[in-house]
Amino acid sequence: MIRTETYLDWNATTPLRPEAVAAISATLASCGNPSSVHSWGRMARQTLEHAREAVAALLGPISPDGVVFVSGGTEANHLALLGAERERVLVSDVEHDSVRQAFSRSEAIPVDGDGVVAIDALDRLLAADSRPALVSVMFANNETGVIQPVAEIAAIARNHGALFHCDAVQAAGKLVLDAEEIGADLISLSAHKLGGPPGAGALVVTGGTDLMPLFRGGRQERGRRAGTENLPGICGFAAAATAALEGVAVYDRVRALRDELEDQIAEIAPDAIVVGAAAPRLPNTSAIAMPGVAAETQVIALDLDGVMVSAGAACSSGKVGPSHVLAAMKVGTEIAKSTIRVSLGWTSSQADIAHFLRAWTALYRRHRNFTSGACAA
């Protein structure tokens, strides 16, 4: 029997887009170092600068000069939080670990039950202490897909003279973004979440924010990031960014599939819960709780049926312990322990959804029958 496999873990990483494969292959075959002055080097430099324009376009009509290429979203977040050298760093309770762990003395911004940043609380936190501050709030959450009111957050940060960093790793390529509308001074991007290769990302400086480099050495990236640029990775990132923007309409279809999946779950299992459903969300993400069944159990059972999802962020999927995102949303331990993340992508199909629903329903019925049987006995 040929086992069909359904990949619904797109927020962890995505398959490479064909455009990115072509760009990477072409660049890998050449050997220039963009810092070299000979013609191989100059060709590499030219390729690099074109890539910078393509990546900048993910954030609308902005200057490519602000794009600092780094090794990925984690490094971008570190460069933002540490490189800005602010005395206070305020991060929301639902940020990715790479933001939460970057600055040792960071202060927490609470969120409401839907995972949306409590704007008033942020205002009070900033008003209470006038030291130079940086506020870091993600555009959309990796576990729940919940979208933050970034423009409001930017306005509050600006009122208090604070810098605003926005981790847009999950949103870029799924939504049409505009740096000006976001209002952030610093924006993090990652290639492998939008069909580019892992090992490439960018921190975009939208204004004149000075950054202290995290890696010191050569004067690459205008002195903001030492180290030979990962040119094939960057070209793959650029090609994927262009393809993502051109094909962003596919997310209308993805949203319809995701909504259908959630509707079906609601019909099959009245006790199932979609976390963050009341808030604006990414079109592809669904955090679904099957109360009473541990998330790890669900993930393993679904994997045996050929369906790949995760029990939260991939970086921590080897760890045990409930998600900090769900804890911050105060969903309750029972829900937190039984929530899986289902995330779709541009090739996800009706058949994928059907496959997931078959596997999920079978698991749900097994557990419900067992539970009700146990109760009757």
Query: Is 165 or 279 the residue whose CB approaches another protein more closely?
Result: 165
Instruction: Give the integer Cα–Cα distance in Å for 77 and 103.
Output: 10
- 266, 277, 308, 327: which one contacts another protein (CB under 8 A)? 308
Q: Does 280 bind another protein (CB under 8 A)?
A: no
Residues 235-264 that bind another protein (CB under 8 A): 236
CB of 340 to another protein, least distance (A): 10
Q: Does 22 bind another protein (CB under 8 A)?
A: yes
CA-based radius of gyration for the chain: 21
Beta-carbon contacts of residue 349 (< 8 Å; ≥ 6 apart)? 257
CB atoms within 10 A of CB 367: 17
CB of 330 to another protein, least distance (A): 23
Query: Is 173 or 183 the residue whose CB approaches another protein more closely?
Result: 173
Q: Does 83 bind another protein (CB under 8 A)?
A: no
For 166, phi and psi rounded to 5 degrees? Answer: -125, 120
CB of 8 to another protein, least distance (A): 10
> Which of 46-54, 84-92, 174-182, 222-230 is the region at the interface with another protein (rule: CB under 8 A)?
222-230
Residues 89-108 that bind another protein (CB under 8 A): 96-102
Query: Is 14 or 148 the residue whose CB approaches another protein more closely?
Result: 14
CB of 216 to another protein, least distance (A): 3
Active-site residue flag, 315? yes
CA atoms within 13 A on the CB side of 326: 27
Give which of 337, 183, 359 is closest to 273, Cα–Cα.
337
Instruction: Give the integer Cα–Cα distance in Å for 238 and 196.
Output: 8
- 77, 136, 206, 338: which one contacts another protein (CB under 8 A)? 77
Six token digits for residue 307: 């369906």
CB of 149 to another protein, least distance (A): 25
- 47, 74, 338, 339: which one contacts another protein (CB under 8 A)? 74
Residues 175-214 that bind another protein (CB under 8 A): 192, 197-200, 214
- 21, 119, 250, 294: which one contacts another protein (CB under 8 A)? 21
Q: Does 319 bind another protein (CB under 8 A)?
A: yes
Query: Is 69 or 126 the residue whose CB approaches another protein more closely?
Result: 69
Active site residues: 315
